Every structure is written in structure tokens, then in C-alpha cells.
Chain A
Amino acid sequence: MAHPRASTQSQRFAQFKLVLLGESAVGKSSLVLRFVKDQFDDYRESTIGAAFLTQTIALDETTTIKFEIWDTAGQERYKSLAPMYYRNANCAVVVYDITQASSLDKAKAWVKELQRQANENIVIALAGNKLDLASPSASSPTSKRAVDTAEAEAYAREAGLLFFETSAKTAENVKELFTAIAKKLPLDQQGPRGARAGGGAGGRGVDLKGGSAAVQPGCNC
């Protein structure tokens, strides 16, 4: 944290594009809100189109990571817009709701699509959200869990994904999720390495090029 920026080469700043995908109401926006503002709404309106947010985290003493986050809408009608958000993404969080088995199927479909269509080095994390609902509570004496941790974890391992069960409501594992992603992103080399935004995709893929993902030495902007 807060380090003298004078510290030359060892000070690293990197910017990455992250996209959230998953069925409607699994808690994508809630996860982002928790991550970015450390807040939670019991009632959230469904995302319309997509929302764009940024969050900067300090990975370690010398490394600052800025996420540019696309929180996409899970509603069916926006399906065809998804490529424009994931095409340049360096990382993706595919979210399902542990209380809805069908949402994992949907998540798997997203993973498949990402592995086929997105940047080939994309880092994908699978997040089973609403973990708080797994433990019995006053309102629900039995667990509402519908997806076994082991099952989802096995799938994630097989597909080469990071895996977390999270709760946007209690904040459990939210920071951990994003930090794990950040750690897995390639930081070691400088230059436009993380910047697959400009390269690779080409054609229409460069469209949402705005902030390019670039590792910039010594820049703290």
C-alpha cells in the first residue's frame, strides 16, 4: 500500500479488463458492488445493458492493479452483446448461484464460449455466489444450497478455472476472488503484455479499446 512512488522499477502498475458473466440474478452486480464500494443491497435492480466500474487494488508492496470491470446484464436479450465485452477481456468472472442448479449450467456454457471465443490467455474464475444462503438461518432453517461445492470445484479444476464460493452479502471471499485473479494475471513482463486489448483481437474486437490494459512501470496514475 501507499508506497513512495519514487521506488523505480520495482513499482508496478497494471490495468486489466475484467468481465462478469452469468445468468440474471446470480449476483454479478452485487459482487462488483461489494468489491468496488464494499456495499450490498438486498434489493437490486437487474442490470440494463452493462455497467462499467473500476477498482484499484494493491497486490503487494510494489504492485498496483487497476481493474476495468464490465458488469454485464444476464438477461437473455443481451446475450448477443456479450462478445463485445469479453473480446478484449484479460479476465472473466463467471458467476452462478449456489441455490440454483441451473445457473451452473449457464455458467458452464459461458466458460465454454469464453474458451472458444475470448482471448486465449484469458484468466477465468468461477464464482458460486450467495454462499450465505448455504448456512441455515432463522428464515430458512435448512440450507438452500443446490450445488455441491465438490461438484463445482471438480468442474473448475477440470476446466482450468479459479474457483471460489462467495457471498456478496457477507463479503465472504469477494476480495479473495479478485485478488486471486490479479495474482494469476501476467505481471512479470512489462510493456503491452497485459495489453491484449490492442493486439490479438483485431477487427471489431478492438472496439471497446478505451483504457488499454498495459503494464506500466513506475506509473501510479
Chain B
Amino acid sequence: MDPAPPPPHRPESSVPTEDASTTSPPSDSTPPSVEDSIPPSPSDESASSPSETTALLSEGTVSPPSEDELSTPRASTYQPTPDTPETTETTETPGPTDLTAPEENYFPPPLLPRVIIESTTNSILSLQNIHSSTSSGTSTPGLQAKATTAISLPEGVHAHQTDGASSGSVTAAPSFSDSNSIVSLVPTLNTRDNDVESMLGEILSESGGRFSGMGTRLAGAGGGFGDGHIDDEGWDESSDEEGLEEEALIARWRARKKHFFILSSAGKPVYSRYGDESVVSGYMGVIQAIISFFQDGDDTLKSFSAGKHRFAVVAEGPLYLVAISSMGESDSQLRAQLDALYTQVLSTLTLSQLNKIFSTRENFDLRRLLGGTEVFLDGLSDAMTRGSPQILLSALECVKMRKSHRERINQILLKSRSPSLLYGLVIADERLVSVIRPKRHSLHPPDLQLLFSMLFNASTFRDGGEHWTPICLPKFNNRGFLHAYICFFRKEVACVLISADKDAFFEMRSVKETVVEQLEKSGSVKIIEDAVSRGRYITTDVLSSTVIRHFLYKSRANVQFTMPSFEPHFYTVIARRRLMNLYQRLHSAVHAKNAHLKVHHCIRSSSVSLSWVTPAFELYCVAGAGADRGALAKGATAIVSWVKKEEERLFVIGGAMF
């Protein structure tokens, strides 16, 4: 739908010239400097998520409790890892094994070959042409923590590799990631002989897709710019969907853009965002059949396309998670979303329980044990369908406030803590205000995202009351439960106190009482509430006059991001959705494998955007159609220096430790 983007090599395709901080192009593995070092090593892609996670607010690794059952009485058995350095937030973790016991890896061994099925006919779903390509052994489903950036050059995209401080604008050669993979022979499903086609066809037609639009444009991790369908309809409210109520709009987006399924490896439905059971269980059976078909051939199905729908599959132990999306996400983005859902499931059950259940009863109906948590899965699914910067960037957002104000809150938490407190957090409006933790224990962004999502994407905890619940924070320890005291002491402000001791409720409760009292006395509650009601800053607060309408800035060292308010330009659900969709593509383009893209311009009929990646940060800026790219580049540079200046207000740096 976006057939005529500007040709490449337009003369004015200059790059941000002002800033010197970009590094030499091909090497993202440039050793980070002490100040802005980034944790993940590019050579460590398969372990990328854990290695990045350690950077957040923490430097240590975790040697977790081995508690398993809810009924296990005692929990204070988590042991510190003795050799954890205690310096800056840059510690490299070797891999997933430091997070969990080696025999229970969170992620499966890194051998899953990637399978790409491209639909190349107009049939509803053709599985006849299956290109199976074995990708470089990465199996990490989630969290694009990779330090590598990549190039991908669909039409209309100009890539530039900046060279040090210079403004050299070399346009890189197109290099579609994944296209270098080997096409191997994979048995073909005969669609005529079974119901696969018709059943999946139903899903697809139910979701309003037309299958003539080829999936080829979605092939490859970085090729996400093909689908212009969505955001070229216009930037903001002015679309044919105007006039519908917001909720109706959301419903429409959902209905036709995305599905999430979770099923057991025996094909039993575990979760589905839409559709009632009778419909869904049929699809689940089909999906299970397809997945196990590949497994029987010692292959693992990871993703395929059917028409404009991309299917991503994650097999995690006894569960399969499937995302079906026509929103143009890359495979790794979809897998990150699935991983967030999986994290949600684990938080309820622990991996140990999950494995135990299915090892004894393969046909177990897991919904029995997930009862009541559908609201969290739904909330998360919907947030990801709306577009979640948190999950896209696998980073956290903080409430912007003065350093001294935040420090005061930190101090209050530190002074009020009690012996069995493990983590203490103040969270407002789905953003972090303050966190305290023991020196030896990390906090991991996926765990925190889980917590944030449970608190803010469902109303369960938001009644002003006090809650005490077992919770598994899978990155902390996927085999045991911690216990969380959760209290929204103001409408949008929660205090979360996590202990390993299931009997610590009253202890946590009195910590909370002290904390809230002190926060009130010191005026901090008001500061937090004001910050919440003020909302995020707007772009023009940062740059008085600029073409930039919105941006995402991720600080890689802090594993945090900041962004302005969606107002005024992206206020409506649709406009916001389109913006997030664009961000997804920008992100996907600079994160595609095998390329070293530093700066990336994307010109579309409705927008001009710029992505800029350095070892220290990722910045995505969006301007309206026809914006001058020089001006955009200038704005980007100004944002970077603004963030640098405001860093201690925008981010929680290090977190308070005890």
C-alpha cells in the first residue's frame, strides 16, 4: 500500500551531522567505555536478554531460592552469588545459567532452526512452499537486548553509516537479513489432505485479512517496512475509522490485527485472547499439529507467513505460544511479545510446577491452574496490541523527577525497610519512581515489566486495598515464589514490597505504613502525584521548535527509556497505534541481524523518521510528512543532548541498594 516511496539516494539524504558520539560503523562490539558501557556482548546474542537485564538497576547476578511449592514454608534461602562484583551497572553476565539452575533453563537450548514459510500463492494458506532456513542458532525468544544493529533496506529507506564524528553519508548496500540463510528441504504439508488450510483460513478471514497481499514483504527480520497499509492511511484521527468510539476502534484493531494463543504441547488450549473455546480449541489442535509435524522431523517451526499475517511460534517446555499478527512486527518482536506472555504464565505457576504438571499428566488442562489470571494475560495482550514501548525496547520507563526528590524517596524506602524485604518499589502510572534492592540481587526488566503490567493492565490490585500474593519472578528465579505486598496507596501510585518469606505480610505492611507516612510528611506523595497528573513532558518542552512529533529514547546502560506524551499528535488510539507500528519497523530495521546500521532514515508518505543507534542509546524520532531531514537530524541531536543533561531526572540510575 505504500508503493511509491522516494527513491533512494536522494540528494538531501544527509545524516545528523552535529553529534560526534556515533561510533565507527561496522562494529557494535566496540568496547564500551566505562561510562556508557552496555552490557550485552554482541557475540552473545543467544543470551542477550539476560545479559542486558543485569544492567538494570543492578549489577549482581542471582542465585535464586530453590523454593518450589506455594506451600513451601521458608523462603529466605536465596543465596548470594559470592563473586558478584559490586561496582557499576555494567556487569556482564555470562548467560542464562546464572539466573537459574542450569538444569532448568528458562530458554531451551539454542538450536532451534528458523523456519520461514512464505506464502507465495494467492491461496488462503499455502504451506506448499516452505523455506526452512537455519539461522545462527539463536533461540532467545525475547528481549532484543542485542548490541548488534543491522541494516535492512526496503524501498524508501536510506541508511547511512556515520563514521565517528564525521557526517559521512555512505549508503549501505541492501542486505536483507535472513536472506543469507540456507534454504533447506522441509517436508511439505499437503494442504489438500487435511484441515489445516480451512481452519487457519478461518482464523485469517475472521480477522479480516485478505490473502492476496503477499507475505514476501514480511520476510526477513528487518523487512518490516513493506506493510504500509496501516500507517499510510494518515497520521492521526483522520481515517475512515473516525467516529467510532475508542473502544470500538480498539476492538476492531484487535479483531483483525492480532491473535495470541497458548496451548499445551498436547494441543490443549491454555489461553486465547479472542474467540470462545469451541472455536479456539479447533485452531489449537491445528497449530499443535503443525508444530509437532516439524518437531517430528527434528526441526522447529519458528515463524511463517500466510498472506499478510505473520505467525510466530515459541515452544517453551510443555507450552507452545503463538502470535498471529498483521501489524508488521518482526519475528523477534513477536517472540518478545510471546515471551512476555510466557513470563506472565510462569509468574503464576513457576517453571518447576509447569514442568511437573505436564510430566505427569500430558493432557492436563492448565486453565484450571491459571484461573483468574486471564485478566493479566488479556491486559498484556491488549497493551502489546496497542503497542508497548516497554516490550518493544525491553526497557522500563521512569517518572521524571528531580534527582533530589527521587533520592529522598529512595532514602525513605531504605530507612523503612525490614529484614525480610527483598525489593521495595514505588510505581506510579506504570512508571518506576524508586526501587531499593539488596546489593547482591539484580532486578530484571522482564520481571519488572511483568509486575508493572499486572498492576496497571488489570484492575485486580487497584482497589486501594492491601494484597499479598505469591509471585514468581522468572528472571529472578523461575523455580520458586516470592511474595508481594501490593498496595495502591493513591489512585495511580503503588507501593510494592517483595519478600521471600511468605509469612512476612504484617512485616511488609508496617514497612508500607512507615513509607507512606514518610512520603506524605516529606511532600513526596504530592510530588509523585503531580508528576503523574502532569503526565509526560511534551516534545516542545524538550525542543522549543522542532519538526519532531514524538520520539523514543532508550538508554542502553540503564535499560530504561523515555518518551514524550503521545499528545498532541498521537492522542487517539489509532494514531498511537500507527506510531507504535512505525516504531516497530524502525526498531526492526536497526536490529535486523548481520548489519551495522547506525543511522537510518525512513521516508513515507505520512512521515519522516530517523533511527539512531549507538552503544549508549537508541533513538527513534518521528516527524510529519515532508519534514526536512536536516531539521530532523538536528532535532535528534538536540534530544540526545537534552537527555544527557536530564539523565538523572529521566532515569533511575543504579537504584538504591542496601
Q: Is A155 an interface residue (CB 8 A)?
A: no
B369: chain A residues at CB < 8 Å are: 76-77
Docked-complex contact A52 and B372, CB < 8 angstroms? no
Docked-complex contact A45 and B458, CB < 8 angstroms? yes
A80: chain B residues at CB < 8 Å are: 69-71
- Can you name the residue of chain B whose Cβ is closest to the Cβ of A39? B463
Which residues of A, 88-112, contact B by the 8 Å Cβ criterion? none
Q: Is B467 an interface residue (CB 8 A)?
A: yes
B502: chain A residues at CB < 8 Å are: 81, 84, 207
User: How many Å from the CB of B526 to the closest CB on chain A?
Assistant: 25
In the complex where A48-B469, A50-B468, A52-B465 touch, is A76 in contact with B70 (Cβ < 8 A)?
no
Docked-complex contact B505 and A46, CB < 8 angstroms? no
Docked-complex contact B503 and A51, CB < 8 angstroms? no
In the complex where A48-B460, A84-B503, A210-B509 touch, is A24 in contact with B467 (Cβ < 8 A)?
no
The complex places the Cα of A55 from the Cα of B657 at a distance, in Å, of 37
The complex places the Cα of A23 from the Cα of B71 at a distance, in Å, of 19
The complex places the Cα of A197 from the Cα of B606 at a distance, in Å, of 67
Docked-complex contact B503 and A204, CB < 8 angstroms? yes
Q: Is B534 an interface residue (CB 8 A)?
A: no
The complex places the Cα of A164 from the Cα of B376 at a distance, in Å, of 34
Among B369, B463, B484, max chain A CB count under 10 A is at: B463
In the complex where A45-B460, A52-B465 touch, is A208 in contact with B372 (Cβ < 8 A)?
no
User: How many Å from the CB of B514 to the closest CB on chain A?
Assistant: 14
Interface residue from B70, B375, B465 paired with A45 (Cβ < 8 Å): B375
Docked-complex contact A81 and B71, CB < 8 angstroms? yes
Docked-complex contact B505 and A52, CB < 8 angstroms? yes
In the complex where A45-B460, A77-B348, A84-B502 touch, is A52 in contact with B371 (Cβ < 8 A)?
no
User: How many Å from the CB of A33 to the closest CB on chain B?
Assistant: 8
- Can you name the residue of chain A whose Cβ is closest to the Cβ of B461? A48
Q: Is B466 an interface residue (CB 8 A)?
A: yes
Among A24, A78, A80, A207, max chain B CB count under 10 A is at: A207
Q: Is A211 an interface residue (CB 8 A)?
A: yes
Docked-complex contact B372 and A47, CB < 8 angstroms? yes
A45: chain B residues at CB < 8 Å are: 372, 375, 458-460
The complex places the Cα of A77 from the Cα of B70 at a distance, in Å, of 8
Question: A132-143 CB contact bits vs B (8 Å, 1 = yes)?
Answer: 000000000000
Docked-complex contact A73 and B372, CB < 8 angstroms? yes
User: How many Å from the CB of B358 to the closest CB on chain A?
Assistant: 15
The complex places the Cα of A210 from the Cα of B505 at a distance, in Å, of 8
Which residues of B, 441-496, contact A by the 8 Å Cβ criterion? 458-461, 463, 465-470, 484
B460: chain A residues at CB < 8 Å are: 45-48
In the complex where A76-B369, A78-B70 touch, is A50 in contact with B506 (Cβ < 8 A)?
no
The complex places the Cα of A216 from the Cα of B251 at a distance, in Å, of 56
Q: Is B102 an interface residue (CB 8 A)?
A: no
The complex places the Cα of A50 from the Cα of B88 at a distance, in Å, of 38
B503: chain A residues at CB < 8 Å are: 84, 204, 207-208
Q: Is B373 an interface residue (CB 8 A)?
A: yes
Q: Is B31 an interface residue (CB 8 A)?
A: no
- Can you name the residue of chain A whose Cβ is closest to the Cβ of B348? A77
Docked-complex contact A24 and B371, CB < 8 angstroms? yes
Q: Is A53 an interface residue (CB 8 A)?
A: yes
Which residues of A, 54-103, contact B by the 8 Å Cβ criterion? 73, 75-78, 80-81, 84
How many residues of A sit at the interface, in one of the four size bands? Answer: 20 to 34
Question: A20-58 CB contact bits vs B (8 Å, 1 = yes)?
Answer: 000010000000000000000000011111111100000
Q: Is B645 an interface residue (CB 8 A)?
A: no
In the complex where A80-B69, A80-B70, A81-B470 touch, is A48 in contact with B506 (Cβ < 8 A)?
no
In the complex where A45-B375, A78-B70 touch, is A52 in contact with B509 (Cβ < 8 A)?
yes
The complex places the Cα of A45 from the Cα of B467 at a distance, in Å, of 13
User: How many Å from the CB of B451 to the closest CB on chain A?
Assistant: 12
The complex places the Cα of A182 from the Cα of B505 at a distance, in Å, of 25
Docked-complex contact B467 and A49, CB < 8 angstroms? yes
For the residues of A in contact with B, the DSSP-based class is loop
A75: chain B residues at CB < 8 Å are: 371-372
- Can you name the residue of chain A whose Cβ is closest to the Cβ of B74? A204
The complex places the Cα of A59 from the Cα of B371 at a distance, in Å, of 38
Docked-complex contact A51 and B371, CB < 8 angstroms? no
The complex places the Cα of A210 from the Cα of B511 at a distance, in Å, of 12
Interface residue from A76, A204, A207, A210 paired with B371 (Cβ < 8 Å): A76
User: How many Å from the CB of A177 to the closest CB on chain B?
Assistant: 20
User: How many Å from the CB of B510 to the closest CB on chain A?
Assistant: 8
Q: Is B73 an interface residue (CB 8 A)?
A: yes
The complex places the Cα of A47 from the Cα of B468 at a distance, in Å, of 10
Q: Is B368 an interface residue (CB 8 A)?
A: yes
- Can you name the residue of chain A whose Cβ is closest to the Cβ of B376? A48
Question: A183-221 CB contact bits vs B (8 Å, 1 = yes)?
Answer: 000000000000000000000100111110000000000
A84: chain B residues at CB < 8 Å are: 502-503
In the complex where A77-B348, A80-B69 touch, is A46 in contact with B371 (Cβ < 8 A)?
yes
The complex places the Cα of A177 from the Cα of B108 at a distance, in Å, of 53
User: How many Å from the CB of B551 to the closest CB on chain A?
Assistant: 35
- Can you name the residue of chain B whose Cβ is closest to the Cβ of A76? B368
- Can you name the residue of chain A whose Cβ is closest to the Cβ of B69? A80
The complex places the Cα of A45 from the Cα of B462 at a distance, in Å, of 11
The complex places the Cα of A53 from the Cα of B505 at a distance, in Å, of 13
Docked-complex contact A48 and B70, CB < 8 angstroms? no
Among A50, A77, A84, A211, max chain B CB count under 10 A is at: A77
In the complex where A77-B348, A81-B71 touch, is A49 in contact with B468 (Cβ < 8 A)?
yes
Interface residue from A50, A78, A207 paired with B467 (Cβ < 8 Å): A50
Docked-complex contact B467 and A208, CB < 8 angstroms? no
The complex places the Cα of A79 from the Cα of B373 at a distance, in Å, of 16
User: How many Å from the CB of B50 to the closest CB on chain A?
Assistant: 27
Which residues of B, 349-373, contact A by the 8 Å Cβ criterion? 349, 368-369, 371-373
Which residues of B, 370-426, contact A by the 8 Å Cβ criterion? 371-373, 375
Docked-complex contact A51 and B467, CB < 8 angstroms? yes
- Can you name the residue of chain B whose Cβ is closest to the Cβ of A50? B468
The complex places the Cα of A208 from the Cα of B510 at a distance, in Å, of 13
Interface residue from B69, B71, B466 paired with A53 (Cβ < 8 Å): B466
In the complex where A24-B371, A75-B371, A208-B505 touch, is A48 in contact with B467 (Cβ < 8 A)?
yes
The complex places the Cα of A211 from the Cα of B505 at a distance, in Å, of 11
Docked-complex contact B373 and A48, CB < 8 angstroms? yes
B468: chain A residues at CB < 8 Å are: 49-52
A208: chain B residues at CB < 8 Å are: 503, 505-506
A48: chain B residues at CB < 8 Å are: 372-373, 460-461, 467, 469
Which residues of B, 313-345, contact A by the 8 Å Cβ criterion? none
User: How many Å from the CB of A118 to the closest CB on chain B?
Assistant: 17
A49: chain B residues at CB < 8 Å are: 467-470, 484
B510: chain A residues at CB < 8 Å are: 210
B348: chain A residues at CB < 8 Å are: 77
User: How many Å from the CB of A106 to the closest CB on chain B?
Assistant: 14
Docked-complex contact A81 and B70, CB < 8 angstroms? yes
Q: Which residues of A contact B (CB under 8 A)?
A: 24, 45-53, 73, 75-78, 80-81, 84, 204, 207-211
Q: Which residues of B contact A (CB under 8 A)?
A: 69-71, 73, 348-349, 368-369, 371-373, 375, 458-461, 463, 465-470, 484, 502-503, 505-507, 509-510
The 3 closest A-B pairs by CB, nearest first: A49-B469, A210-B506, A46-B372
* Given A46-B460, A77-B70, A78-B70: 8 more A-B contacts, CB < 8 Å: A45-B372, A52-B466, A52-B467, A52-B505, A76-B369, A80-B69, A81-B71, A208-B506
**Complex A-B: 8 CB contacts under 8 Å:** A48-B372, A48-B469, A51-B468, A77-B70, A81-B71, A81-B470, A204-B73, A208-B506
